[in-house]
Amino acid sequence: MICMTTEVLFKFAKKDINLSPEAYKKIISLDNPLDFSSSLIVKLKSQEFSKDDLISLDENVVDDFIVTLGLSTHELDNKKNQIASKNQSTLFSDDNRNDDDIVSVDEDITLNGTDNKGLTLNDSDDKGLNLNDSDDKVLNADTAEITTTSDVKVKNLDTENVANRIATEPIFNPSIDANSTTDDIENKDKVDANVLDSFEETQSKPISKIVQDKVPKVIDASKFKRNLNPPTVEYDFEILQDTSKKSYTSGEIGNLITYFKNRYEKLSNILSKRPELRAYQKIRDLDEKATDLTLIVMVSEIRNTKNGHRIVIFEDDTDEIAVLFHKDNHELFRASEKLIKDETVGILAERKGELAIANRIIQPGIPRVPKKDMNFSAVFTSDIHIGSLTFLEDAFVRFTKWLNGDFGSEEQKEIANDVKYMVVGGDIVDGIGVYPNQDAELAIKDISDQYDEAARLLGDIRSDIKIIITPGNHDASRVAEPQPAVPEKYAKHLYELNNTEFISNPGVVSLDGWNTLIYHGRGFDDIAIGVKGFSHEHNDVIMEELLNMRHLAPIYGERTPLASELEDYLVIDNVPDIFHTGHVHINTYRNYNGVHMINSGTFQTQTEFQKIHNIVPTCANVPVLHRGTYKQLNFLSK
């Protein structure tokens, strides 16, 4: 019998329903979780949820429906061995699928034969085939017209409002970028990755059975068939920044002082090139009679006055000064609301007596990057979370098969054939002990086994695609940024693949002359949660702000752990062509001043942290920069 672990998750994810861990455990403990899931989906979708709503399912709803059906549940403890013995299987067929799960088939597909796009179907069952239903709001590949969905609403489903709702039509259709305009985006495309309903079992093996006392797993490198032969492609690949072996901090206060001095020096050098700041003054050197002040300073403290004004204490490497932002200067006051501690800016101010009143804030900013030709394609992934019970393995397998040219339309296969680089921007595995009680949500409970499973999955990708891997906060690297590359002792078999490169987070590489800044994105948390006007959902706005600050994680000592190295490696010294991030599990794209800003989403369903903050992930949507044009392929649907 097919394992139900990811089959259940996939059923709900396909209908835009996010299961809480408790609800998932309740369902998986039933004798027939698939039948129960199908019945529950039909019931939920017979309620009055619009297509833009996203249902969040908790255990109370599951309990009520179990009672409604008159079912009995086993204690979870009695099911643990059964669940552990079941692997995270692929969803290549579903004999229990009901009519609600049937999706449309494109009119140019011929069953029991070969379609005019080169896809051959194994049988006449069209239930698993989803080839761009005409109602889906996507970017048409032929016309390059941009259509996006409106912002989704998060609606918690509880037992009181379930009973009396009316049927609606569910559509899974994440937006490329709700804030983007045609001026910001250059030739965007969003293309659903069309795949077959049935795959060969040997092409996608389930995650290995996990038990506490298991014998250490030995990976046979020969199983990585596509990596037996070395690649013949010529790469113009260069690692421009990798801090993996550049950590010299001892954690003493002297290191911290050196760290901030280095940050200030780097950013003041950038700011001093701006025409308005070329004649900047040091605070200690200010003439007592001077009225016009031109400063390059770091934010030390922010406070509001009882009259509603804002006072910011700035400092440089000589002294500090208090500057008033008057509430009646509305534009400047709004700009001051985005100032954050430890940010380095230019300040133009006017001195009136003992008080300095701000006239302007100047960020380091970025110059416009000249447009350049791109004669290859690159895919960007992150937050795969292999080893988690909520890892969407089947969608990831479809992604790797697409890379190999085995699935998709002819247009999509042509894109896949053009892919030369694959970037993994952190959290390739779910890790161990990252948060309390994580063990209960893991399918693989050993960190080395998680990386072995990653090696098996990535090992099936054709060997002429170079794979660049950086760590995230779930990986086996130190928590503080900058993070060294994932150590080989934990990821031995990933290192054995002949097409992988491991670098630090952040890291900078040149992909055939395209400078690519890779940052996992934990610094987003401080800004999204603590600064007015920012959110995880619109992380492209945060990315733009970080580029203008020329720093990836400016705030020291809050949510993002920063190592007080002798050099601040999170300063953006050089403006990249591509800025790739992850962490927040939400796809975004925008072209800002010529920089392709890409967040690559996730291959994991909604996490508890995201539920607390009403963050809705965009699952299994993979960005592709295809010869300079952005495309996004959806591997969630079969």
Phi-psi label, residue 212: left if phi above 0, alpha if psi -120 to 50, beta otherwise? alpha
Q: Which pLDDT tens digit goes with each residue over 205-223?
A: 333 333 333 333 444 544 5
Question: Per DSSP, what are the bridge partners of residue 322?
Answer: 313
Residue 259, pLDDT above cutoff 50: yes
Q: Residue 64 — pLDDT band, cuts 50, 70, 90?
A: confident
Please, are residues 69 and 31 in contact by the beta-carbon 8 Å criterion? no
As a dihedral over the C-alpha atoms of residue 518, residue 519, residue 520, residue 523, rounded to 10 degrees, the angle is -170
Per-residue pLDDT reduced to its tens digit, 520-540: 999 999 999 889 889 989 999
pLDDT of the residue at 186: 40
**Would the pLDDT of 493 be above 80?**
yes
pTM for this prediction: 0.68
Using 50, 70 and 90 to split pLDDT, how confident is the model at 70?
low
As a residue count, the chain comes to 638
Q: Which pLDDT belongs to residue 5? A: 57
Percent of the chain beyond pLDDT 70? 70
Predicted local confidence at residue 89, as pLDDT:
35
> Helix, strand, or coil here: 540?
helix
Helix axes 21-28 and 33-44, enclosed angle (nearest 10)? 130
Q: Which two tokens stand for residue 587?
A: 């796809």
3-state secondary structure of 603: coil
pLDDT at 82: 42
CA distance 36 to 14: 16
Query: What residue has token string 């670098």?
Result: 503
**Where is average pLDDT lowest: 127-141, 576-590, 592-606?**
127-141
Locus of tokens 């298991």: 214
Q: Indicate if the pLDDT at residue 570 is higher than 90.
A: yes
Q: Do 553 and 526 touch, CB atoms closer than 8 A? A: yes
Q: What separation, in Å, do the N-terminal and C-terminal C-alpha atoms of the chain show?
A: 20
Q: What distances in angstroms separate CA 179 from CA 147, 366, 535, one per listed residue?
A: 12, 20, 12
pLDDT one-digit tens code per residue, 122-164: 333 333 333 333 333 333 333 333 333 333 333 333 333 333 3
| Domains of the chain in sequence order | 5-157 (no CATH), 189-194+237-248+368-634 (3.60.21.50), 275-362 (2.40.50.140)
